[in-house]
Amino acid sequence: MGTANHSDAAPQRIDLSTLTPGFTDGVHDSQGVFRALLEALSRPGTIVSIDAVLRDLRTQGTVPLAVLASLLALADYSTPVFLQHDDHSLSDAVRFHTGAPLTTDSKQAVFAYLHDAASMPSLDAFSLGDAETPENAATLFIRVESLENGPPLLWSGPGMPCPRAVCVAGLPDTFWRERAGLASKFPCGIDCYFVAGGALIGLPRTTQVGVD
């Protein structure tokens, strides 16, 4: 994961009285979430439960539990995080529990949480990595309406023994067209997780999605 310099304004003071608690068992819970995230990317299109590996983690408002858990497990002082919407409970939790800086510049983000898929920035607004360090591309966590009730799209590629229909709901058609346009840039690209509640689906840059 790469390091980015950024010039955002100084963060607001964290209110400890309303701070969302982090992991109950930092090492155990973080490892469990990390394994679940790896499983989701290695088995694209498979619904993976994050809350199943946690004990007492809770979120506030409309932030999915899987988003908070993933950022707590992955982010650190060297990984700027982009948050699409202004949610103080999430931003305070990320800053306090991980030390990760928040950035308003999507190009600098190593991780990004996109609360509203319909109004999310275009994919080329994020880092795609480069030929020498494709691993420095951004990873996106995109909140969706459902992981099962959307229009079926055919996914294929590594980690999928045969093509399968995946039915994520709540993504605009522009997302799929933009992603298809990144295929020529491989190994650069963007890895995505679609998140609903305590579960998610991984979409690595190696997966092909049939788009009309």
Phi, psi (degrees; rounded to nearest 5) at 34: -60, -40
Average pLDDT over residues 181-190: 92
pLDDT digits (tens, 9 = 90+) for 109-158: 999 999 999 999 999 999 999 989 998 999 999 999 999 999 999 999 99
DSSP H or E segment with residue 91: helix 88-98
Average pLDDT over residues 175-189: 93
Reported confidence tier of residue 2, pLDDT bands at 50, 70, 90 = very low
* Residue spans of beta strands (DSSP E) within 71-182: 81-83, 111-114, 139-143, 153-156, 164-166
Reported confidence tier of residue 49, pLDDT bands at 50, 70, 90 = very high
Reported confidence tier of residue 160, pLDDT bands at 50, 70, 90 = very high
pLDDT digits (tens, 9 = 90+) for 194-203: 999 999 999 9
Percentage of the chain lying above the pLDDT 70 cut:
93
Closest CA to 43 of 210, 211, 212, 206: 206
Cβ–Cβ under 8 Å, residues 75 and 100? yes
Asked if residue 4 has pLDDT above 70, the reply is: no
Q: Supply the mean pLDDT for the chain.
A: 90
pLDDT digits (tens, 9 = 90+) for 50-69: 988 876 787 777 889 999 99
Reported confidence tier of residue 38, pLDDT bands at 50, 70, 90 = very high
Cβ–Cβ under 8 Å, residues 56 and 32? no
Pick the more confident residue, 86 or 42: 42
| Domains observed in the chain | 25-202 (3.40.50.11310)
Distance CA 76, CA 157 (A): 31
Helices (DSSP H) in 123-199: which residue ranges? 173-181
